[in-house]
Chain A
Amino acid sequence: MLGMSKVLLAFSGSAQGGLLDVNPGLMIWTVITFVILLLILKKFAWKPILDSLNEREKFIKESLEKAEVAQKEAEKMIADNKASIEKAEEEAQKIIAQSREYAEKLKSQILEESKTDAKKIMDDAASEIERKNKEAFSSLKEQVAAIAIDAAEKIILENLDREKQSKIINKYIEDISKN
């Protein structure tokens, strides 16, 4: 018990004062120290540190926003590119279709022309043949006439009677026309 009370005594008072004793001098020193520390740190530390922190946060925020804008722009550009590629493809398809159509047209035209040409050539050939035929016929006629004259000459030479003569001539002519 005695020991316990001595422990309590040590708590409540000694040469330096007890645990719960308030020392006004120390309080004044604490105020002075704290205020000086506050002023020093406020001027030399908190202001620049907080300013640069805010600045950096602003910078990061702005950078992120910029990046977002850039991404959106890039996406838009990609979409634009895609659209133009599609347009170009469409155009190409159109051109191909057009040229195919044109080729088709050309082909049919050429075919038509060649057909008419061929027809013309055939017609020409036919008329030529006709003409040649006629020529040949007329030359044949001439030849037949010559032969007939020859035959007549021969008959005359043989001196046959008139009746017999005409009979032979008729017979000749008939033969020729038969051929």
Chain B
Amino acid sequence: MNETTVKTLTDSLHTASDAAEQAETGWIMHHILDSNELFGVIPLPQIHLFGIDLSITQHVVFMWIALVILTVIFTAVSKSYSKSFVPRGVTNFFEVLVVFVRDEIAKPTIQKGYEKFLPYLLTVFFFILVCNFLGMVPFGATATSNISVTATLAIISFFVIQIGGIMKNGLFGYFKGLIPHGVPFWLLPIMFVVELLGLFTKPFALAIRLFANMTAGHIVILALIGLIFILKTLYVAPVSVAFALFIYLLEVLVALIQAYIFTMLSSLFIGMAVHQEH
């Protein structure tokens, strides 16, 4: 090791510790968290109703963007079906995804009566997918990296699961079916509590999984890019950019996988609630 590299290293370490002491990592959270400004510039309206902060935040705007994108795309796709029996272009691409959700997610997990839940599953899949990808666009924000959003989606999923199960098996039949067959009599009270808790842990896991996966990648990318500024040296830039690019590509995969997993698990839980016999 020659003198200059040793000097650069010690300098870098000094600047790093200085930066940490000055709490300059706050900008990462600023990028991850919700904000009242769009793109950090345009102020958004703040609404307070009945003691609840109903402000339109950046994540709300991005959910609306997702809503508009999905509405435009899928009305166009459904229109193209009335024009021609044979799909082409964009229709073909989205048909693959729709058929994937239908044949690979809903059909094998819910089996009989899956058609009723298909609109919900398709909507949740495409909504999460578009929200995930909107977070990867420059100046974009990831609504699905907000625990409030993922928790709400999980709660909606929870209600779909319970209502689906109750509508199929009846209120009493559904709760009776929660306890697996062949359980000893004295275990019944414990099993009932465990199974009841299980009903709530499932959506809880859904919410945390989606939130953590969508947040983690962003933090890692920001941290890698932040290294350049924290260490105040350009020499680390190629490494930072290369790693950030790698994580970015990984995030493209994660965005797809998480949309799939959320839909898949929701569908699986619906299937378990609807067909309790196994």
Contacts and interface: CB of A to CB of B under 8 A. Distances in A.
A30 B29 contact: no
Q: Which of A29, A40, A50 has the most CB of B within 10 A?
A: A29
Interface stretch (B6-14, B144-152, B184-192, B256-264): B144-152
Nearest to A33: B63
Interface string B151-176: 11100100000000000000000000
Contact of B33 (A4, A19, A38, A41): A19
B78 A38 contact: no
B111 interface: no
Contacts of B4: none
Nearest to A52: B81
A16 B35 contact: yes
A40 B78 CA distance: 12
Contacts of A23: 34, 53, 57, 146, 148
A108 B55 CA distance: 122
A64 interface: no
Contacts of A42: 119, 123
Interface in A1-36: 2-4, 6-7, 9-11, 14, 16-31, 33-34, 36
Contacts of B52: 24-25, 28
Contacts of A49: 74, 77-78, 81, 95, 98
A45 B75 contact: yes
Contact of A34 (B29, B119, B156): B156
A31 B127 CA distance: 12
Contacts of A7: 20, 23, 25
A16 B26 contact: no
A61 to B, nearest CB: 14
Indicate the size class of the contact surface on chain B: 35 or more
A10 B57 CA distance: 19
B54 interface: yes
A162 to B, nearest CB: 147
Contacts of A21: 147
B80 to A, nearest CB: 9
B215 interface: yes
B81 A19 contact: no
Nearest to A44: B75
A66 interface: no
Nearest to B149: A30
A53 B71 contact: no
Nearest to A55: B85
A46 B152 contact: no
Contacts of B71: 37, 40-41, 44-45
Nearest 6 interchain pairs by C-beta? A3-B20, A45-B74, A30-B152, A52-B81, A6-B23, A48-B78
7 contacts: A3-B25, A14-B26, A16-B33, A25-B52, A25-B54, A26-B146, A46-B74
Given A6-B25, A44-B78, A53-B95, 19 more contacts: A2-B21, A3-B21, A10-B28, A10-B29, A16-B33, A19-B215, A23-B148, A24-B53, A26-B57, A26-B149, A28-B54, A29-B56, A33-B63, A33-B64, A34-B123, A37-B66, A45-B71, A45-B78, A52-B85
